[in-house]
């Protein structure tokens, strides 16, 4: 005797969710743990720019990534890993076809892979009707990457630990020009570099209110390592600093420059040196993924 699968109104229906970029307004490394992981303090903010992921729930248990990412094996893809992890955790019999419109660069420090994984966990939790809480999803996601929890919770946050201890914060929602030279940077190579600072002083959370995060009190500890190894990043950063406060995000190679208006950001974008990819986006403190889930839940 077979058990009937529960009714699911999303079967064979395609639903698209955003997968936004993030920037690290600062990134301080305070220690290295005995297991090799680094303790850090950083401030995540989302951008109103990113990938989009479309899901079609199926009655079989197959996870089908319709649009493979060049250079990433199926079993190494965080999209696939996230779907498999949730499928196992929830013991669901449903499967899914996944299509991604990938516009975020790999190796850029914008959190594209982590964001994709978070979108998969959030979306399939609803589409498969798994009924896991965000805290449960964040715990699952942490095994895929330290940045995944902030994308799942969906609010700008001061992060501590390896990036999983989050405190909501509201930095100014400025306009950013995000620029990338023609190089990709390995996160592992940065965090294993001998000259990476690992002793930045810890911050007091209360001092993060009404603060200029582009001041000299804040920095990206990874930036010095990267600009020594990648002259493309060093040259672009030096050029951008002539026009606006600028800083590398994450482990690079993307650099964000801050502006008070879209018009100002677009004006500098038009002057960028040849061969530099870029986009202009606004910083936002609530992830568009959270808004999409709220709309979907409202109509369920």
Res 1: pLDDT: 41
Res 299: pLDDT: 62
How many domains, in total, are found in the chain?
1
Cα separations in angstroms, 180 against 69, 104, 134, 144: 19, 11, 32, 25
Average pLDDT over residues 242-248: 98
**Catalytic-role residue among 51, 81, 147, 221:** 147
- In the chain the first and final C-alpha atoms are separated, in Å, by 31
Helix, strand, coil distribution of the chain in percent, nearest 5: 30, 30, 40
**Average confidence score pLDDT of the chain:** 93
Q: How confident is the model at residue 2 (pLDDT cuts 50, 70, 90)?
A: very low
Q: Return the higher-pLDDT residue of 5 and 144.
A: 144
CA distance 143 to 235: 35
CA 244, 249, 251, 254 dihedral sign is negative
Cα separations in angstroms, 152 against 12, 61, 96, 149, 213: 25, 24, 20, 5, 24
CB 250 within 8 A of CB 109: yes
Domain that holds residue 194: 1-300
CB 23 within 8 A of CB 256: yes
Helix or strand or coil: residue 232? helix
- Phi and psi at residue 80, in whole multiples of 5°? -65, -45
CB 151 within 8 A of CB 50: no
Residue 260: CATH number of its domain = 3.30.230.10
Q: How confident is the model at residue 24 (pLDDT cuts 50, 70, 90)?
A: very high
Angle 78-90/134-142 helices, nearest 10 degrees?
A: 130
Res 6: pLDDT: 58
Res 208: pLDDT: 82
| 22 counts as catalytic | yes
pLDDT tens digit sequence for 47-65 = 999 999 999 999 999 999 9
Q: How confident is the model at residue 283 (pLDDT cuts 50, 70, 90)?
A: very high
CA distance 176 to 240: 12
pLDDT at 7 over 80: no
| 59 counts as catalytic | no
**Strands (E) located in the chain:** 14-32, 38-58, 63-65, 95-101, 157-160, 165-168, 175-180, 246-248, 255-259, 277-284
The angle subtended at Cα 202 by Cα 176 and Cα 28, nearest 5°, is: 40
């Amino acid at each position: 005797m077979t058990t009937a699968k529960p009714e699911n109104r999303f079967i064979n229906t395609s639903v698209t969710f955003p997968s936004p970029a993030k920037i690290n307004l600062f990134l301080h490394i305070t220690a290295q743990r005995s297991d090799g992981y680094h303790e850090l303090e950083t401030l995540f903010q989302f951008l109103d720019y990113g990938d989009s992921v479309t899901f079609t729930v199926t009655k079989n248990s197959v996870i089908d990534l319709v649009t493979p990412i060049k250079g990433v094996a199926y079993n190494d893809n965080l999209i696939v890993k996230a779907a498999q992890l949730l499928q196992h955790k929830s013991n669901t019999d449903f499967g899914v076809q996944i299509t991604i419109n990938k516009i975020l660069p790999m190796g850029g420090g914008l959190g594209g892979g982590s964001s994709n994984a978070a979108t998969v966990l959030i979306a399939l939790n609803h589409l498969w009707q798994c009924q896991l809480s965000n805290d449960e999803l964040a715990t699952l996601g942490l095994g895929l990457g330290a940045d995944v929890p902030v994308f799942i919770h969906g609010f700008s946050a001061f992060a501590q630990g390896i990036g999983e201890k989050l405190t909501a914060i509201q930095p100014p929602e400025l306009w950013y020009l995000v620029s990338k030279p023609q190089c990709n940077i390995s996160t592992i190579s940065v965090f294993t570099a001998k000259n990476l600072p690992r002793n930045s002083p810890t911050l007091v959370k209360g001092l993060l209110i009404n603060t200029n995060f582009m001041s000299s009190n804040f920095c990206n500890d990874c930036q010095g390592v990267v600009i020594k190894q990648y002259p493309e990043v060093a040259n672009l950063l030096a050029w951008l600093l002539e026009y606006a406060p600028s800083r590398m995000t994450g482990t690079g190679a993307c650099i964000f420059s801050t502006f008070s208006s879209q018009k100002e950001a677009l004006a500098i974008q038009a002057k960028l040196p040849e061969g530099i990819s870029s986009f202009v986006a606004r910083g936002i403190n609530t992830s568009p993924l959270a808004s999409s889930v709220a709309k979907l839940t409202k109509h369920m």
